[in-house]
Amino acid sequence: MIRYRPTVVEVDLGAVRHNVRLLMPPSAELMAVVKGDGYGHGDAYVARATLDAGATWLGVALVEEGLRLREHGIDAPVLVLSEFPPGSEKEALAANLVPSVYTEDGLARVLEAAGTVGRPVGVHVKVDTGMHRVGVWPAAAAAGFAREVVAAGLELDGLWTHFASAEEDGGLTRRQLGELVAVDDELRGAGIRPRVLHAANSAATLLYPETHLDMVRPGAAIYGLDPGNGLAVSAGLHPALTWRSAVTMVKRLPAGEPVSYGHRYRLPRDANVATVPVGYEDGYARVLSSRADVLIRGHRHRVAGTVTMDQILVDCGDEDVTVGDEVVLIGEQGEERITAEELGGIIGTIGYEVVTTISERVPREYRG
């Protein structure tokens, strides 16, 4: 993309590699979850960085996401974390995407498509141990379902589950782990051995070594996002994303002057007001109006009034800002930092949502 506007997301692939190496267990593989365009960071770039750092698998939510990785020349194993949608099975298997299965219909469709690829097809059976989105439920039925997979001629490449509250509830996490292990024990008693058993998301990878099993499956932590309760900082993860722009206009306005749509913000004193070309069309949420700070010249300054589609105004007080000054929306400047989690707290959500909703019209640039 040709870039004229100064608003850009910069992704530090060195930070991604650092985080993967920090998360890598000594005796288990690591699947890097790069769904949602790599949590808004750029899936192909992030995928390559994670593989460079030692990841052996990639995880995606959609068949389309897996196909895009293949189009970028990435040939590592890719697990699609939900069942293939009807009609996608042949293309997905032809691209060597690994299916998750957990329903009789999903299994039948993969089995039918498997006859067209001319090679053995491995699947991962997902067990619902309490999250209740998708998976074989109840967990006690999963061993029987897995036996059906093997009897149908497919390979049981993996058995897995997803934790509902690893960042908050150790008791629940261990109960879910126990249910998955019980399914595995029953299968092994019948002579069936899944190649990989996996359960640990970002929080579990950091908090509960017993959940590492054969492979961990972190997502948010790879990007230096906080899985919850300040784990990113305490674990030494490095945020990979910086969102920045620049001042395009400065006006000196008198105390009491209202600014932006609805005149909901009045300057408490004479102030320099900076215009910055970023808005809600870029993913800078309107609810941040008059509540969020940005960094200019190493200091925090408040967004003044309503966030508009393409621009925000910033109350810079007596700071001697000028056109061209860097503006940091997420990231560091001087001794100050604004995190995705800080913006998420204002919005009433998590840092993951903040970064994944930065729109495609904001170019991504890469370093490291």
Closest CA to 352 of 256, 248, 222, 236: 222
| 3-state helix vs strand vs coil in the chain, percent to 5 | 35, 25, 40
- Catalytic site includes residue 261: yes
In this structure, the number of other CB atoms found within 10 A of the CB of residue 340 comes to 30
Q: Which of 35, 39, 45, 352 is catalytic?
A: 35
| Cβ atoms of 135 and 128 closer than 8 Å | yes
Catalytic, out of 102, 126, 251, 261? 261
Alpha-carbon gap, residue 110 to 89, rounded angstroms = 6
Half-sphere exposure for 340 (CA within 13 Å, toward CB): 30
Residues facing 302 on adjacent strands: 293, 315
User: Is 41 in contact with 242 (CB distance < 8 Å)?
Assistant: no
* Catalytic site includes residue 366: no
Which CA distances in Å does 329 have to 40, 46, 176, 228, 352?
Answer: 15, 21, 38, 21, 15
3-state secondary structure of 287: helix
Q: Is the peptide bond before 239 cis (omega within 30 degrees of 0)?
A: no
Alpha helices in 124-169 (DSSP H): 142-151
CA within 13 Å, CB half, 249: 8
Please state, in angstroms and rounded to a whole number, the distance separating the CA atoms of residues 30 and 21. Answer: 10
- Residue 125 CA to residue 109 CA, distance in Å, equals 14
CA 358 to each of CA 48, 69, 314, 352, 365: distance values in angstroms, whole numbers, following the listed order: 21, 21, 20, 11, 14
Please report, as a single letter, which amino acid is at residue 101.
V
Active-site positions read: 35, 261
